[in-house]
Amino acid sequence: MKLFIAEKPSMATAIAEVIGINKRSDGCIECKNNITVTWCFGHLLSQAMPGEYLGYKRGEKDKWSMEPLPVIPQKWIVFPKDASSGKQLKIIKDLIGKTSEIINAGDPDREGQLLVDEILEYVKYKGKTERLWLQSLDKENIEKALKNVRDNKKYYPFMVSALSRQRADWLVGLNLTRAYTVKSGRLITVGRVQTPTLNLVVERDLAIENFIPKDYFVVWADIDHKNGRFKATLKPDLLEKGIDEENRLIDANITEIISQAVKNKTGKITGVKNEKKSQDPPMPFMLSSLQKFASSAWNWSAKKTLDTLQALYEKKLTSYPRTDCPYLPEEEFVNAGQLVNKLKTILPAGSNLVNLNIKHKCWNTKKITAHTGIVPTKDTTAYGSLNTDEKKLYEQIILSFYLVFAPAYEYVAMSVKLNISNYIFTASGTQVLKQGFKALAVKEEKDGEDAQENSLPPMAEGDAVKSSDAGVDAKKTTPPSRFTDGTLIDAMSHIYKYITDEESKKILKETDGIGTEATRANIIEELVKREFLERKGKQIISTAQGKEIIGYLPASIKDPVLTAKWESYLSEIAAGTGNIETFLKNQADFIRIEIEKIKGLTISVSKSDNYKPKSGGFKPSSKSKSGPACPSCKANLVILKTKNGKPYFRCFECKSCFWPDKNNKPGIKWSV
């Protein structure tokens, strides 16, 4: 028997349908040609907690203290995550005992590789294993992948990289969380990627809150030329006084003198520069660019975009979602016309710009890593079943694919200098020659102000001009923008933009940033769930609790440079040039140093009673009183009320909540 182990039931069903289904059984599908397809539900195995390495039984509550830290496992322990995982693991183990060959059909990434490989190691399977690498779940791509299965050993570095990441997160997160919790007297979570991400937001928020606006002035003039009128502004850096270190005009008296000196005066053009330029259509989406787009266009969270995209993938409409690569295989270019013709029946709008003779730079097989860019598949069967959000995202992905075949945007970049009353004014703008793909593309959000595209009339050096009017605009400098889901994902992806050290910036520009395409959305959601971050409209803002945590954590823990360098080494492991032993030794050494530092600290933080939970829609009343001991952790419960006035018990240590029973004791447990 040949056994396929898929990442999830939907993938298993898609594979089985192509192979040919004979019978569905408990936890598997029996197919033609003596093939069986089974599945996982994501990771079926979980890492043991530190207590188990310290001699406590699994599930037994261990006492947290500084003495045994750091916990550095010599032999890592894994076990089934829960009862349903244990049941499915037994089914898989029984099937493995009957098979002569296994095909790893995890998602086409590092985590998908580990997800299946760790099961094979757990059951001590040593037989033949191959790898099915599926970029999408439509019939055509599955058939192609089934003809191209490879030796699973080829992907061994992917598994090792994912395992390295998992163990590093355990070492950093659990050791430092325990250490800071013991020292502070309340639960403080620390994460290898979570904490530097929180630090990004806190630093941005503090820059905004501490920003002191500065007044400055802009002198403008309406210029009449024989070919038309345009607006020009004074070039202040040529002045001898009245400007600051950034060449902004700050002396109101001088600006008024200049505006009066040039009003209704003649002058001439002293310089003209016309440069013909073109801009190619954007690359196909990868996950981070799609998350940034959806945040800007529709105010979607990063997680909502990923979840919606995952649904489209499982409905066989789009390629694999968690991709960090925008390129497409060159060999698919010749078949692109068939796909476009199919998509036109779904979305005719925009297809008029498609020119199949245009070969975009995205068609480059050599630049494809584990995945391709996000594109539609030929299987449009499920289109009619899409909900509003799924349809919106799917159609945007179709439009993105149309853009690959759209003509370039062509324009003339124009800049002009003019002299009026011995003052130099400048103007710049564009003259559109061909709208090209911009007739279809939607403008994306940018982290900062967009440059305006002004139209300028044709001009030549020496032409006469006249200032028909002039004036002064009073302005203030503005702080940086708050993060949104889209710009925070972008910041995590391009962390080098937020680094001041030039040497580190150069290194990090070539690496992966912090987190991965697959994990960044969940990291943001976890920070929101823990109430370190909160959303206000589009904005993501750090809470007082988030600022407090970052305030007393050392740079070594919250520094994104260190985390990004770790991510870079994980990429080296995936490429086969790094090794897990070196990486984990470095993590262990780092943890030992940090724990020694923490043991010498005295940490003072806000009392947990001041912590107001916002999750789950429950709002405690302003009046609360102490209650009995928490059944879970023995800390004192606090009696609160929901917004509807219903009383409940809340534990601020383990975050458990209990409805009162008939004796007014903690009864049914729930969590926020």
CB atoms within 10 A of CB 267: 22
Q: In this structure, are residues 37 and 28 in contact, taking their beta carbons and an 8 Å threshold?
A: yes
Contact 186, 608 (CB under 8 A): yes
Residues 22 and 38: their CA atoms lie apart, in Å, by 14
Distant-in-sequence, close-in-space partners of 220: CB < 8 Å, separation ≥ 6: 231, 232, 233, 234, 470, 471, 472, 473
Which residues make Cβ contacts (< 8 Å) with residue 269, sequence separation at least 6?
225, 416, 417, 418, 459, 460, 461, 462, 463, 465
- Rounded CA separation 377/14 (Å): 14
Compute φ and ψ for 405, nearest 5 degrees. -110, 15
Catalytic residue among 125, 216, 313, 320: 320
CA 642, CA 317: separation in Å to the nearest integer?
43
The answer to whether 320 is a known catalytic residue is yes
Quick one: tokens of 647?
A: 């009383």
Name the token pair of 637: 């419960």
Please tell me the distance from the alpha carbon of residue 324 to that of residue 118, in angstroms, as a whole number: 24
DSSP summary character for residue 302: H
**212 contacts 478 by C-beta, under 8 angstroms:** no
Torsion sign (Cα): 513, 515, 521, 524: negative
Say which DSSP state 374 is in.
Answer: B
The answer for 655, left when phi > 0, alpha when psi is -120 to 50, beta otherwise, is left
Let me know: does 144 contact 15? Beta carbons within 8 Å.
no
Place of tokens 């502004």: 233
> Which of 329, 352, 330 is CA-nearest to residue 340?
352
Cα separation, 592 vs 122, whole angstroms: 29
The token duo for 653 is 């240590």
Strands of 178-239 (E only): list them: 215-225, 228-234
- List residues with catalytic annotation: 320
